Amino acid sequence: MNQQSSHRIRRLRWEVSTHSVSDAFAVRQQLAEDWQNILLPVLEQVFDRAYGPDALVHIPKLHLRLQVPPSESLGEWLVREFPDCLRQALQEQLADPSQHPEFSLSVGIDSAPPQRQLSNPDLNQWESLLQYLRTGILPWYAAQPNAEIVAQELGQLCATRSSQIIAYLQTYAESPAFYFRWLQLLPDSDVPHLIQALLEGVPETCRTVVIPLVSAILAIASSSLDRPTRLHYLAASLSIGLQVPSSIALPNFLQMVGGTLPTISQSKFRDWITTLPVPLSSALTFDRTSPFVTGDSQVTDRSDLATSESTTPHLSQESPALPLSPLQPPQETADRNITLPPPISPTPIPAHNPTSPAFPWLVTQAGLVIIHPFLPQLFSHLAIAQGNEILSEHLPRAAALLYFLATGRDRIYEYDLMLIKILLGLRPETPLLVAEGLLQVSDRSEAITLLQSVIEHWSALKNTSVEGLQTSFLQRSALLRERDQGWYLQPEKAAFDLLLNQLPWSISIIKLPWMAQPLYTEWTVI
Do 325 and 465 lie in one domain? The reply is no
Q: Which of 55, 77, 103 is the endpoint of a domain?
A: 103
Residue 300: pLDDT over 90: no
Give the total number of structural domains in the chain: 3
Q: Which of 201-205, 437-441, 517-521 has the lowest mean pLDDT?
A: 201-205
Higher pLDDT, residue 4 or 200: 200
347 lies in a domain?
Answer: no
> Is the distance from CB of 226 to CB of 305 less than 8 angstroms?
no
Q: CA torsion 324→169→412→132, rounded to 10°?
A: -170
Higher pLDDT, residue 224 or 408: 408
Confidence band, pLDDT 50/70/90 cuts, at residue 73: confident
CA-to-CA distance for 15 and 290, rounded, in angstroms? Answer: 64
Which residues touch 436 (CB under 8 Å, ≥6 apart)?
Answer: 227, 228, 410, 411, 412
Higher pLDDT, residue 510 or 9: 510
Residue 378: pLDDT over 70: yes
353 lies in a domain?
Answer: no
CA-to-CA distance for 457 and 11, rounded, in angstroms? Answer: 37
Do 180 and 305 lie in one domain? The reply is yes
**Helix H or strand E segment including 519:** strand 519-521
CA-to-CA distance for 345 and 259, rounded, in angstroms? Answer: 10
* 8-state DSSP, 416: G
Residue 380: pLDDT over 70: yes
Q: What is the mean pLDDT of the chain?
A: 77
Question: What value, to the nearest 5°, has the Cα angle with vertex 450 and ends 498 and 150?
Answer: 75
Count other C-beta atoms under 10 Å from residue 133's C-beta. 23
> For the sheet containing 361-363, what is the strand order?
361-363, 478-483, 486-491, 519-521, 509-510
Tell me the mean pLDDT in the region 338-365. Answer: 49
Q: Tell me, what's the pLDDT at 526?
A: 66
Residue 42: pLDDT over 60: yes
Count other C-beta atoms under 10 Å from residue 95's C-beta. 9
Do 177 and 68 lie in one domain? The reply is no
Do 318 and 395 lie in one domain? The reply is no
Do 412 and 296 lie in one domain? The reply is no
Confidence band, pLDDT 50/70/90 cuts, at residue 60: low
Do 254 and 323 lie in one domain? The reply is yes
Q: Tell me, what's the pLDDT at 468?
A: 96
Q: How far is CA 275 from the centre of its chain?
A: 35
Tell me the mean pLDDT in the region 165-176. Answer: 93
Confidence band, pLDDT 50/70/90 cuts, at residue 2: very low
Q: Tell me, what's the pLDDT at 116?
A: 35
Name the region of 437 (left: φ>0; alpha: ψ -120 to 50; beta: rest): left
Q: Which of 57, 83, 103 is the endpoint of a domain?
A: 103
Tell me the mean pLDDT in the region 329-340. Answer: 31
Higher pLDDT, residue 397 or 271: 397
116 lies in a domain?
Answer: no
Tell me the mean pLDDT in the region 162-167. Answer: 94
> Is the distance from CB of 510 to CB of 373 less than 8 angstroms?
no
* 8-state DSSP, 428: T
Q: Which of 98-107, 454-463, 484-493 has the lowest mean pLDDT?
A: 98-107
Tell me the mean pLDDT in the region 153-182. Answer: 94
118 lies in a domain?
Answer: no
Q: Which of 81, 103, 125 is the endpoint of a domain?
A: 103
Per-residue pLDDT tens digits for 355-366: 444 478 889 999
Do 413 and 466 lie in one domain? The reply is yes
Do 259 and 299 lie in one domain? The reply is yes
CA-to-CA distance for 425 and 510, rounded, in angstroms? Answer: 11
Residue numbers of the domain that contains 479: 361-521
CA-to-CA distance for 126 and 120, rounded, in angstroms? Answer: 10
Q: Tell me, what's the pLDDT at 310?
A: 31
Confidence band, pLDDT 50/70/90 cuts, at residue 444: very high
**Which DSSP string corresponds to 343-395?**
P---PPPPP-PPPPTTSPEEES-GGGGGGGGGHHHHHHHTTSEETTEE-GGGH
117 lies in a domain?
Answer: no
83 lies in a domain?
Answer: yes
Tell me the mean pLDDT in the region 314-332. Answer: 33
Do 329 and 372 lie in one domain? The reply is no
Higher pLDDT, residue 507 or 247: 507
Q: Tell me, what's the pLDDT at 292?
A: 53
Q: Tell me, what's the pLDDT at 24?
A: 76
CA-to-CA distance for 416 and 169, rounded, in angstroms? Answer: 25
Q: Tell me, what's the pLDDT at 157?
A: 93
Count other C-beta atoms under 10 Å from residue 317's C-beta. 6
Q: Tell me, what's the pLDDT at 351?
A: 36
Do 36 and 168 lie in one domain? The reply is no
CA-to-CA distance for 248 and 472, rounded, in angstroms? Answer: 56
206 lies in a domain?
Answer: yes
Confidence band, pLDDT 50/70/90 cuts, at residue 94: low
Positive or negative, the CA dihedral 221, 223, 225, 230 is positive
CA-to-CA distance for 178 and 349, rounded, in angstroms? Answer: 8
Confidence band, pLDDT 50/70/90 cuts, at residue 271: confident
CA-to-CA distance for 224 and 322, rounded, in angstroms? Answer: 22
108 lies in a domain?
Answer: no
Tell me the mean pLDDT in the region 141-156. Answer: 87
N-term to C-term CA, the chain: 34
Residue 285: pLDDT over 50: no
Per-residue pLDDT tens digits for 387-438: 999 999 999 999 999 999 999 999 999 999 999 999 999 999 999 999 999 9
Smallest Cα–Cα separation from 267: which of 291, 250, 283? 291
Do 444 and 367 lie in one domain? The reply is yes
Higher pLDDT, residue 318 or 225: 225
Q: Tell me, what's the pLDDT at 486?
A: 94
Q: Which of 116-120, 252-256, 345-349 has the lowest mean pLDDT?
A: 345-349
Smallest Cα–Cα separation from 425: which of 474, 478, 487, 374? 487
Q: How far is CA 13 from the centre of its chain?
A: 28
> Is the distance from CB of 186 to CB of 165 less than 8 angstroms?
no
Do 304 and 172 lie in one domain? The reply is yes
Which residues touch 484 (CB under 8 Å, ≥6 apart)?
Answer: none
